[in-house]
Amino acid sequence: MMHRIELGPGADPDGFRQAVRGLIARSVPPQEVVWATQGSPDLFGEAIAADAPAVALPRAVGELANLVVCHRDPERYALLYTLIWRITHGERGLLEVASDPLVHRLDMMAKAVGRDLHKMHAFLRFRRVEAEDGERFIAWFEPDHFILEATASFFVGRFPGMRWSILTPIGSLHWNGQELAVGPAAERSQAPGSDDVEQGWLGYYQSAFHPARANPEAMRAEMPKKYWHNMAETQAIPDLLRSAPSRVRDMLEREAAMPIKRNPDKAVAAMSEQDPKTLAELNRIISEAGPLVPGATQAVLGEGPLGANVAFVGEQPGDQEDLQGRPFVGPAGQLLDRAMKEAGIDRSRVYVTNAVKHFKYELRGKKRIHQKPTAGEVKHYRWWLDKELALVRPRLIVALGATAVLALAGKPLPITRCRGPAEFQGRPGFITVHPSYLLRLPDETAKRQAYADFMRDLREIEAMVEKRAA
Ligand code: URA
């Protein structure tokens, strides 16, 4: 029998929660449910009266669902219910399996909604109008998803003492200083033009503008042009760039840090069910999976020919690699290039990659400071690295530093004792230091000595490759 669940327009988290309780209590499988929202065409089946007890779910599921219900995708409730059904029917740890197609899709949806919330918090602009009953602030905004009610507490908390309205094409919010009312959709023409902007509000936004946007490219990426017409400060940017402290960015960073906890063991088990046949296919899977810890611009994939003489495996991309989307292009990469050249290693015959494919960092002011991946993160990416090397089939695999050793050997090994020829799961290998270690040494003599030792390793690597080729 089919069950038709009708939920409110837009995002209806409460209605969804209630419906889930009723459906789970009656053991209704996902394929017997049709999810409709008010205003959608009439379908078959009956509405379920949902008065059942709460369903015990891992906390992360609730957090994910709160975001996903705001997504525009008409399938959002069906997908979430399928997830909940599977979690309550023997797959308790499902959410930790990042590579499961359903989990991956829901993660992507949650991320899209998260970005939309960030944009609305950061780029919505109020304009002051003198109404008959006094001063009021009105803003126009066009969200991509049904996030209006999800943002209400943010704006009430931020502007509690003002009377304001937020108008959008999907509904409106009205705050009178005490109560919040949700109203109908609005049109842009109902919002005031920029002439009404009050200096005090502009001041508020000036103080909230983030200096990272001093980079015009980053600014355009972070602040898409579609929002500019609402924003008086786009005219004031040169001044803002000189003076702004980082309040909004801190806020965005806090909210962006909504990591969904994963269990690397389970992720690995599920990933091994995927079987990419080409490097391109594998790279697509890695790129689509997204970063384990939010923040990276993109996945940085390996580079070089199939059947390369040597595969150099580093730790994880750094700041430059993250921006350019290529491995070893920053300072450590330049040092590696120079050393390879000196050792007579032909760069065009070499494959270069990393144990971890996404940049992880901590923001210090404007700087993104590299953070070492945890053992769990290395493990998460390990299956991919293994597959990558199996597809590239290099003659020799070189581990650059401790993280690469952990990823390739599957256990931590001291570089000082294991430096030199090695074997990684039956494949010929070599262990040496990471080039960034040479850059970090404070003392010039130590640096010179370390570089000479590194050069000796590279020459040995070259000799091993030549021998294998002979
Ligand atoms: N360090 C690494 O380990 N890899 C890079 O790609 C850059 C720096």
pLDDT for res 187: 87
Cα end-to-end span (Å), the chain = 70
- The single residue listed with the structure tokens 């050069």 is 455
Q: Which amino acid is at 314?
A: G
pLDDT for res 201: 46
Angle between helices 247-256 and 101-123 (to 10 degrees): 160
Return the C-alpha torsion angle 175, 181, 183, 187, nearest 10. 10
- Could you identify the atom of ligand 1 that is nearest to the CA of residue 328? 6
- Could you identify the atom of ligand 1 that is nearest to the CA of residue 435? 1
User: Which is nearest to 46 in space by CA: 33, 30, 31?
Assistant: 33
Q: How far is the CA of 311 from the centre of ligand 1 (A)?
A: 13
pLDDT for res 224: 65
Q: How far is the CA of 261 from the centre of ligand 1 (A)?
A: 25
**E strand or H helix at 314:** strand 310-314
Give all domains of the chain, ordered by start, each with its CATH number. Answer: 3-119 (no CATH), 124-190 (no CATH), 198-254 (no CATH), 264-469 (3.40.470.10)
Q: How far is the CA of 327 from the centre of ligand 1 (A)?
A: 6
Ligand 1 environment, Cβ below 6 A: 314-318, 321, 327-328, 330, 332-333, 354, 436
Helix then strand count (H, E) for the chain reads: 18, 14
Q: How far is the CA of 372 from the centre of ligand 1 (A)?
A: 11
Pocket probe for ligand 1: among 298, 313, 316, 381, the residue whose CB has the most ligand atoms within 8 Å is 316
Q: How far is the CA of 365 from the centre of ligand 1 (A)?
A: 22
- Could you identify the atom of ligand 1 that is nearest to the CA of residue 332? 8
pLDDT for res 239: 56
Q: How far is the CA of 405 from the centre of ligand 1 (A)?
A: 14
Stretches where the chain sits below pLDDT 50 are 41-45, 195-214, 243-264, 266-267, 269
Pocket probe for ligand 1: among 298, 324, 328, the residue whose CB has the most ligand atoms within 8 Å is 328
Q: How far is the CA of 432 from the centre of ligand 1 (A)?
A: 14
pLDDT for res 268: 52
Count Cβ atoms below 10 Å from residue 92 Cβ, excluding itself. 12
Q: How far is the CA of 27 from the centre of ligand 1 (A)?
A: 50
Pocket probe for ligand 1: among 301, 315, 334, 385, the residue whose CB has the most ligand atoms within 8 Å is 315
**E strand or H helix at 419:** none
